[in-house]
Amino acid sequence: MPPSLILPALLLAACGDKPPDAWSGYAEGDPVYVASPVAGQLMALEVQRGDTVQAGAALFSVDVVPTRAARAQAEAQLAAASASQADASKGRRPDEIAVSRAQLGQARAQSALADADLIRQQKLIDQGFISPAQLDDARSAAAQARQRVHELESALRVAELPARSDAQAAARATTEAASAALDQQRWRESQTRQNAPAAGLVSDTFYRVGEYVNAGQPVVSLLPPSQRKARFYVPEAELASLRQGQAVQLSCDGCGAPIAATVSYISPQPEYTPPVIYSNSQRSRLVFLVEARPDPAQATRLHPGQPLEVRRAEAVSGS
Residue 167 sits in a domain whose CATH number is: 1.20.120
CB-neighbour burial class of residue 272 (10 A; exposed 0-12, middle 13-18, buried 19+): exposed
- Note whether 170 and 264 are same-domain residues: no
Are residue 88 and residue 177 in the same domain, yes or no? Answer: yes
- Tell me whether residue 187 is in a domain: no
Q: What is the pLDDT of residue 83?
A: 87
- Going by C-alpha positions, the residue among 226, 258, 251, 259 that lies closest to residue 307 is 251
Give the pLDDT confidence score for residue 136 in this predicted structure.
77
Predicted local confidence at residue 131, as pLDDT? 76
Pairwise CA distance, residues 27 & 301, whole Å: 10
Which residues does 293 contact at the CB level (< 8 Å), separation at least 6? 226, 228, 229, 230, 261, 262, 264, 299
Q: Residue 15's pLDDT is what?
A: 41
Residue 124 lies in a domain: yes
Residue 192: inside a domain, yes or no? Answer: no
Question: Would you say residue 96 lies in a domain?
Answer: yes
Give 61-91 as a DSSP string: EE--HHHHHHHHHHHHHHHHHHHHHHHHTS-
pLDDT at 3: 40
E-state strands within the chain: 22-29, 32-35, 40-45, 52-53, 58-62, 193-195, 200-205, 212-213, 218-223, 228-235, 247-251, 259-271, 287-294, 307-312
Residue 99's CB: how many other CB atoms inside 10 A? 14
State whether 80 and 178 are in the same domain: yes
| Same domain membership, residue 310 and residue 165 | no
The verdict on residue 113 lying in a domain is yes
Note whether 84 and 153 are same-domain residues.
yes
**Residues 157 and 300 grouped into a single domain:** no
pLDDT, position 5: 39
Three-class DSSP category at 255 = coil
On whether both 176 and 209 belong to a single domain, the answer is no
Report the number of distinct structural domains present in the chain: 3
Strand bridging mode 247-251 / 212-213:
unpaired
pLDDT tens digits in sequence order for the chain, 319 residues long? 444 433 333 333 334 444 456 899 999 999 999 999 999 999 999 999 999 999 999 999 999 999 999 999 999 999 998 988 887 776 666 777 778 788 878 888 888 888 888 788 787 777 777 777 887 787 888 888 888 888 877 777 766 666 667 777 888 899 999 999 999 999 999 999 999 999 999 999 999 999 999 999 999 999 999 999 999 999 888 888 899 999 999 999 888 899 999 999 999 988 765 555 555 555 446 889 999 999 988 998 999 999 999 999 875 555 5
82 belongs to a structural domain: yes
Asked if residue 161 and residue 78 are part of one domain, the reply reads: yes
- The continuous run of DSSP H or E covering 174 comes out as helix 165-190
Residue 105 has a CB neighbour count (10 Å cut-off) of 12
Residue 191 lies in a domain: no
Give me the pLDDT at residue 92, please: 66
Query: What CATH number is given to the structural domain containing 207?
Result: 2.40.50.100
Same domain, 79 and 152: yes
Domain hosting 302: range is: 16-30+225-318
Could you give the CA distance from residue 28 to residue 310 in angstroms, rounded to a whole number?
Answer: 14
Q: How far apart are CA 137 and CA 170, in angstroms?
A: 49
145 falls within a domain: yes
For residues 197 and 34, the answer to whether their CB atoms sit within 8 Å is yes
Same domain? For 258 and 282 the reply is yes
Q: Do 83 and 133 belong together in one domain?
A: yes
pLDDT computed for residue 10 by the predictor:
33
Angle subtended at Cα 238 by Cα 234 and Cα 241, rounded to the nearest 5 degrees: 110
pLDDT at 160: 65
Query: In this structure, are 235 and 262 located in the same domain?
Result: yes
pLDDT score of 93: 67
Q: What is the pLDDT of residue 227?
A: 94
Q: What is the reported pLDDT for 85?
A: 81
Where is the domain boundary, 154, 182, 210?
182
Which pLDDT value is given to residue 161? 61
Residue that is last in its domain, among 182, 205, 235: 182
CATH number at residue 264: 2.40.30.170
Quick one: residue 210, left, alpha or beta (phi over 0 = left, psi -120 to 50 = alpha)? Answer: left
